[in-house]
């Protein structure tokens, strides 16, 4: 554990087998609650740090059920089933004795050396140092990341009647820099602004309601990244009746695909 703001926000105190207690952080506050990536990472950490966990991270699904208020919260995590090659977990976050704020499932597994092939390549974009920092106003969590858009920066005051491009390619780095690990990678999977903002070219109330992340990196892969910037790619396919999809890729600077994610996002416009 370090005194980095992200690690402070990720602090979970043991409260019994499979039970943890955390505290929200103003450093990662969003419009009506914490940045969703921190919520997802806290749930994930409860399973990742459990002594019963077996294998490396393979997948995580999280459902955001309600806004998390400032203050303490509780997380429970339990292994639902352990097989020869995979282990499945369920997690739940509650607050103040109420119902679930968020629920999640995670899968860990053995990652043996097998045949490997990749059908895609990272987008060809300008490098991190060749781009300027994009700094949104107001939101605490956005100050904790250095965003540098190579393609598809959001417009806050454009013409909403002319649809904008929904694809973005950008470099992202923790501010202050922090070596990449799996909890940090989970947060990065939810780092992208809702595609509805890019489409409508204005601020639109939105929020992720469900996200699944797939991990393609090993602990050694993440250690090799260190605190270097990562490259993110995000896009959507459909906006319809209050929800839109959103898919993302997370790449290392040397062209390794670290994670992919898929989301369903609620919007009001």
User: Would you state the pLDDT for residue 1?
Assistant: 47
pLDDT at position 115 over 80: yes
> Residue 22 in 3-state DSSP?
strand
DSSP code of 140?
A: G
Residue 2, pLDDT > 70, answer no
Q: Please, what's the b/e burial string for 8-19 (b: 16 or more CB within 10 A of its CB; e: otherwise)? A: ebbebeeeeebe
Distance from C-alpha of 9 to C-alpha of 44, rounded to nearest angstrom? 13
Q: Look up the CATH number of the domain holding residue 45.
A: 2.40.160.210
- Give me the number of domains the chain comprises: 1
Q: Is residue 118 part of a domain?
A: no
Look at 30 and 183; give whichever has higher pLDDT.
183
The answer to whether 194 and 206 have CB atoms below 8 angstroms apart is yes
Residue 115 lies in a domain: no
Task: Give the gyration radius of the chain's Cα atoms.
Answer: 18
d(CA 253, CA 239): 31
Residue 147 lies in a domain: yes
Task: Extract the tokens encoding 68.
Answer: 């998390």
- At 194-223, the pLDDT tens digits run 999 999 999 999 999 999 999 999 999 999
Contacts with 22 (C-beta within 8 Å, 6 or more apart), sequence order = 10, 11, 12, 13, 42, 72, 73, 74, 75
C-alpha 168 chain-centroid distance:
16
Q: Confidence class of residue 136 from pLDDT cuts 50, 70 and 90?
A: confident
> Is the separation of the CB atoms in 149 and 170 below 8 Å?
yes
Q: Which domain holds residue 154?
A: 5-109+126-267
Asked if residue 121 belongs to a domain, the reply is no
Residue 71 lies in a domain: yes
pTM of the model: 0.95
Residue 202 CB coordination number (10 Å) = 16
Residue 42 covered by a domain:
yes
| pLDDT tens for each residue of 147-198 | 999 999 998 888 988 999 999 999 999 999 999 999 999 999 999 999 999 9
Structural domain includes residue 170: yes
Within-domain flag for 57: yes
How far does Cα 221 stand from its chain's mean position? Answer: 18
Q: Which residues contact 149 (CB under 8 A, 6 or more apart)?
A: 131, 134, 168, 169, 170
Q: What is the pLDDT of residue 140?
A: 86
């Amino acid at each position: 554990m370090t005194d980095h703001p992200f690690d402070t926000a990720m602090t979970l105190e043991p409260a019994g087998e499979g039970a943890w207690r955390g505290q929200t952080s103003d450093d990662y506050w969003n419009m009506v609650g914490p940045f969703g990536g921190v919520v997802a990472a806290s749930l994930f950490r409860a399973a990742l740090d459990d002594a019963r966990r077996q294998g490396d991270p393979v997948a995580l699904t999280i459902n955001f059920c309600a806004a998390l208020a400032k203050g303490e919260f509780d997380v429970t995590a339990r292994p639902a089933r352990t097989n020869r090659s995979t282990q499945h977990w369920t997690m739940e976050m509650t607050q103040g004795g109420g119902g679930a704020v968020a629920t999640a499932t995670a899968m860990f597994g053995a990652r043996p050396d097998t045949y490997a092939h990749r059908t895609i390549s990272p987008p060809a974009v300008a490098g991190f140092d060749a781009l300027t920092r994009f700094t949104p106003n107001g939101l605490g969590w956005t100050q904790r990341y250095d965003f540098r858009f190579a393609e598809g920066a959001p417009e806050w005051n454009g013409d909403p009647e002319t649809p904008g491009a929904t694809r973005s390619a950008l470099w992202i780095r923790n501010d202050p820099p922090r070596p990449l690990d799996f909890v940090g990678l989970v947060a990065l999977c939810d780092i992208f602004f809702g595609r509805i903002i890019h489409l409508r070219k204005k601020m639109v109330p939105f929020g992720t309601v469900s996200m699944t992340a797939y991990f393609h990196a090993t602990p050694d892969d993440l250690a090799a990244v260190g605190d270097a910037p990562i490259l993110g790619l995000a896009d959507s396919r459909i906006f319809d009746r209050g929800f839109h999809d959103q898919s993302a890729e997370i790449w290392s600077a040397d062209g390794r695909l670290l994670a992919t994610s898929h989301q369903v996002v609620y919007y009001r416009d």
